[in-house]
Amino acid sequence: MTGAPGEDAIDGIKVDQRGNLYVSGPGGLWVLSAAGNHLGTLRGPEHPHNMAWGDDDGRTLYLAAGRATLHHENSRR
């Protein structure tokens, strides 16, 4: 992640029930497997800085960005 292009700093981090890491990093929200493999990057209109699992089922990840609160429903959680 530290070698990825972009000026966004590594910031918030959360883990899901499968052990996947969700890390705010360069270019968006990085999703890493428990083994450390990069599964993908979620990109939004703004860079997320912090996050929290929410809703009744705990499957929605709420992202705090500069001017907005974003959310992503995780069907695999």
Q: Among all chains, which residue has been given the structure tokens 């700093």?
A: 9
Question: What is the rounded distance in angstroms from the CA atom of residue 77 to the CA atom of residue 75?
Answer: 6
- Taking the model in full, what pTM does it have? 0.77
- What does the domain layout of the chain look like in residue ranges? 13-73
Tens digits of per-residue pLDDT, 25-64? 888 899 999 999 999 998 888 888 888 888 888 888 888 8
pLDDT at 60: 85
Say yes or no to pLDDT of 23 above 80. Answer: yes
Question: What is the rounded distance in angstroms from the CA atom of residue 20 to the CA atom of residue 8?
Answer: 21
